[in-house]
Every structure is written in C-alpha cells, then in structure tokens.
Structure 1
C-alpha cells in the first residue's frame, strides 16, 4: 500500500504517515472497537516499511488512547467508557446503597436548525439542520439528569424515522449499530448554573437552585465532531473528587 497517495503530507516522518493510515482504517470502520488490528509483521507487509516504523506508529496510537495492547493476544481498537466518565461526578446510589447506572427515557427526536452553541460545537453551517434528542436519566423513579443532544443530520440520517422506543439506553453503541458512527473521544466542560424553570421542573427541584452542567463534544477517530450534549443534574448529588499523587 502506498504511503504517498494524494492528500498525504509527504513531509511527515514515515511513522506518522503509517499512523495516519492506521487511523483511517479505524475511522472507516475497517477495524472495529474491541477487535484486533493486523499484527506488526502483517502491517510491515501491507505498508512495506520496517517493523520499527510500524511499532512507533502503533505506539503513538496506544499513547493517544485509541489502541491498547493485550499480552499474548495482540493490539486492539479501544472502546472508551463514556458513561463511567459522566457519572463519576454524581453520587448515584440505589435505595440499598449500591451504585447503579441510571436508565434513560427519550422524550423527543426532532430535525431542526440548532442553536449557535451546538452549531459551533459540531462545526456545521449556520443554516444546516441537526437532530435533537431530549432525554431524561432515571435512578429508580427519580430523574437525576436531563440531556439535550445534537447530532449532525447527514451522519445520523437513519435515526430520523426510527420509533423512539427503538433507541437504546446507551446511545454510543446505538450510533455505531444504526449509523456506523463510532465515538472515540470526548471533551467535557463542567460548570455550575441556576436551574431554569424547565430544568427545575424536570429535576423536581426549585427554580434557580444550583445545578451541575456538563457539556460534552464527542468525536470520531478522525476528530470529526459527532455529538454535542449538555446535561443538567441537581447539585445536591454532585461530587467532584480527584486523587493527586
């Protein structure tokens, strides 16, 4: 396989061009999460480069968190655990003191022009439409999070005609299954705000009471923005904890 095809920056070191080729295979879905990529010996034959170059390219993707090595098994595409990331901020316990993952209820799915903050996050045109999902997350019978989710319409067009009941509790595997869009990484911003009338009603709290706000932009393996999500949760259950060595 040629590493000198049009569109590649031929000034880059050879290992970086190999890295870009590997990333293209992941982004295109040729190598799926939790599945092994070809061995180093196989990659040397595919790209016609030394094994040291292959190893350095793979090391770069491992360091970026896109691949992981399993001793004796090979190198695999990593599937991040985004729900663990989100719920580290909230003390979500059942009535008997166990940690549980909240269930979800999709309230609506609409195709419309998004607000400016979603347009900017998704890097889409100001007149482009996007898919908006409004969702609640429940712990037992109590709403613990509200979610407003925006998706670029061309990439998620197959979601427009689905029944709301067909949407899964975990959206990222659902995106992969229905649309072939794989979420690889995300950037989150955490702030504290006052509950609006609608947020307060949904969370069963007082208007203007403090709520934690988590904004997330999720990206594909090629760093294309695939989802913008804003979540609100009561500050009463919010807990920030970090270990500093």
Structure 2
C-alpha cells in the first residue's frame, strides 16, 4: 500500500480488498459511511469519496433507503445483445452451454497479456459450444488463470453445468464483476465450418471478452465465434 496516496484512495483500496474477499454478502448492505468513518478513524467525507470511486468503478451500488451493496453483474443474457436465437418453434431462447474439452497449457501471448499471466506459465483452456435443440450456434474458447481456477482442473466435465460464472464463484470464490467486449467480423475457418455446421466459408461474428473480478483483476479471456445468420445488434440512442 502506497501511503503517499490520498486517504480516500487508500480507503478505496482497502475496501476493494475486503469486497474481493467476499467479506460482505451480496444481499446485505455494507456498513454505513458513519460506521466506516468510525472504524477507520476518517472523516465521513473521505469515506463518501472512496465509496463514490467504487461505485463509478462498478463494484458497488447505492439504493436510497436500503444502503450500499456489492454490485452483482448479470451476464445470463449477454449474448442476446448480439444474436437472436430461436428454437424450432420460433421462440427466443438462451443457448445451453456444453464443455467440449479442457486442457492445461501455455496460453498465446495476447491471452497471457490480457490475463496478466507471466510468459511460460500454464493456464486452463476450455472449449465450449452454445446450442439450441442440439444445434451448435456459437463456439467459445475460454482461458482462466490456474492460480485462481485450479479447482476446475479435476472437476468432471458434466459438473460444469450451463452457466460458468456461478461455478467460478461457488467452487473457486471468484466473482465476475464486469467485462469488456469487442465485436468484429471474421472469415470462417475450417474449425468454424465443422463446429458450427456452416454451409460455406463465409463470415462469422466474433466477440472477444475480458472479464474482471471485484478487485479489478482479469479473471477470464473468452472469444466467441457465432453463425452470422443469427446476428442482431440493437442499441438505444437517446
């Protein structure tokens, strides 16, 4: 801890560490600003400024009359921002996830850099399909630091389930708080054609995601490659 930093920044770092350690539950409020001020021997204004920073960073949410809570991001429907998935009856659905493979190996340089992994250090690689009615629609390559997700090395593949982020939290104590995504279009490669059952070597929609924990560190690098026939981007402009 750098004591040269402003007091509110030092407090922000201390609170961030406690949040990352899950010292407070998601459904219970943090101590009030007055209680934190008394606990740390600081002015209420200093505490408020530290809370403001954590709120702007997306770690906390304030609710009038209820208090300040750790913010839990909702990623369950994130793919629906970019794709429109329909079942055999034409109803919108969220694809199911199925792990295809799991390996412990050295990640490519750009992945290691994104995750803050030193060169030559192994990480966990997952390959997953997203399906509706057993039809593959999106393929995913996921990389995770072993230092945080070592418990997933021996977990039976069938126990991964449909949603990964709840598993990260329950088994490894790692909470995904936010993520950044970049969308591009790429030419379909041989793997895309085979995995996604594409008719020809046309294009695929590519979404690269870096997910971050409550402490701001990178937890997951993921690239999703999807059938462009399901692509649908919607945005509200106000």
TM-score (norm 1): 0.91
CA distances 1:10-30 after superposition (whole Å, capped 9, x unpaired): 332222222121111112221
Residue 233 of structure 1: aligned partner = 226
Secondary structure at the counterpart of residue 184 of structure 1: strand
Is residue 144 of structure 1 aligned with residue 137 of structure 2? yes
Shift of 1:58: 1.1
Secondary structure at the counterpart of residue 76 of structure 2: helix
Is residue 49 of structure 1 aligned with residue 34 of structure 2? no
CA distance in 2, matches of 1:38, 1:167: 35
Shift of 1:71: 2.7
CA distance in 2, matches of 1:207, 1:235: 12
Map of 1:61-210 to 2, 5 A cutoff? 61-210=54-203
Residue 235 of structure 2: aligned partner = 242
Residue 7 of structure 2: aligned partner = 14
* Conserved 8 A contact 1:151-1:227: yes
* Conserved 8 A contact 1:147-1:232: yes
Secondary structure at the counterpart of residue 176 of structure 2: coil
Shift of 1:31: 2.4
CA distances 1:57-100 after superposition (whole Å, capped 9, x unpaired): 11221222211122322111011112333321001133444332
> Would you say how many aligned residue pairs link Structure 1 and Structure 2?
238
Structure 2: 5+ residue runs without aligned partners? none
Shift of 1:204: 1.2
Shift of 1:146: 0.4
Structure 1 runs of 4+ off > 6 angstroms?
none
Structure 1: 5+ residue runs without aligned partners? 1-6
Shift of 1:117: 2.6
TM-score (norm 2): 0.93
